[in-house]
């Protein structure tokens, strides 16, 4: 397995294992794993300022990367720079906070059952995280549990609303009530098109209002930020 090869290289030679990232302009960028993690934090961690929250995000992003090594192998690279993998921002300079978080956690990974965990994360869970199996029934990740998060609620539930151009009908929900699929113009589409999957329809299906940002699985960044500020 490619992730195992990566781990062996990390263990034997520090950050010797490079990763290949396909940029949106078609350029293939090869760089050390830790530099990739720093670039991901520049793209994914805009809501984080707490040193501890940034360190938690660094470990989550690094583990997520190693867990998903091989996702684009057939195309000749490891990761794309979009959120399909992780939002990677290639910049000449990395913020001091991000660099410190990456260096403080160098090579640290989260493990489950002998392999790197599927460390999903999102901006705001809306006050209650979702289990991984709710969103992806095929995933085996019992550690991705549905739990209340009172810390992210310190900033409120991140309420949002959208006026919809055509009537929408909910066709599939998760066990906790998160929306998985909707019907738009006779076509079934993923609820990923909405700011979060924690919402309800109003005005005959032409208005959606909800809470949070993302699918609610894994680390809640806003919750982690508030935990970090509280000294956790």
> What one-character DSSP code corresponds to residue 130?
B
Tell me: the pLDDT tens digits for 25-41? 999 999 999 999 999 99
Contacts of residue 121, defined as CB under 8 A and 6 or more positions apart, other chains included, come to 44, 57, 60, 61, 64, 218, 219, 220, 221
Tell me: the pLDDT tens digits for 143-192? 999 999 999 999 998 999 999 999 999 999 988 889 999 999 889 999 99
Other C-beta atoms lying within 10 Å of the C-beta of residue 27: 10
pLDDT above 50: residue 15: no
pLDDT above 90: residue 7: no
**Which tokens in the block code for residue 50?**
């707490």
How far is it, in rounded angstroms, from Cα 38 to Cα 228?
A: 19
Predicted local confidence at residue 195, as pLDDT: 96
| H-helix or E-strand spanning residue 31 | strand 28-32
- Please tell me whether the overall predicted TM-score, pTM, comes out greater than 0.85 for this model: yes
Tell me: the pLDDT tens digits for 133-143? 999 999 999 99
55 three-state secondary structure: helix
Residues 123, 213 contacting (CB under 8 angstroms): yes
pLDDT above 50: residue 205: yes
Other C-beta atoms lying within 10 Å of the C-beta of residue 121: 20
pLDDT above 50: residue 9: no
As separate numbers, helices (DSSP H) first and strands (DSSP E) second, the chain gives 6, 13
């Amino acid at each position: 397995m490619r992730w195992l090869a990566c781990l062996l290289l990390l263990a034997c030679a520090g950050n010797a294992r490079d990763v290949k990232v396909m940029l949106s302009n078609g350029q293939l960028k090869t760089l050390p794993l830790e530099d990739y993690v720093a670039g991901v934090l520049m793209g994914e961690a805009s809501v984080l300022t707490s040193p501890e929250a940034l360190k938690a995000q660094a470990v989550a992003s690094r583990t997520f990367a190693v867990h998903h090594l091989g996702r684009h192998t057939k195309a000749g690279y490891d990761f794309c720079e979009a959120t399909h993998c992780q939002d990677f921002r290639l910049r000449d300079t990395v913020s001091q906070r991000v660099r410190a978080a990456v260096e403080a956690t160098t090579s640290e990974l989260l493990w489950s059952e002998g392999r790197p965990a599927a460390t999903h994360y999102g901006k705001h869970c809306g006050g209650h995280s979702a289990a991984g199996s709710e969103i992806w029934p095929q995933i085996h990740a019992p550690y991705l549990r549905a739990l209340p998060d009172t810390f992210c609620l310190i900033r409120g539930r991140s309420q949002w609303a959208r006026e919809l151009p055509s009537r929408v009908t909910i066709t599939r929900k998760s066990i906790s009530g998160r929306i998985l699929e909707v019907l738009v113009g006779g076509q079934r589409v993923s609820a990923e098109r909405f700011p979060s999957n924690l919402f309800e329809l109003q005005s005959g299906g032409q208005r959606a209002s909800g809470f949070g940002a993302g699918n609610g699985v894994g680390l809640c960044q806003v919750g982690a930020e508030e935990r970090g500020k509280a000294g956790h």
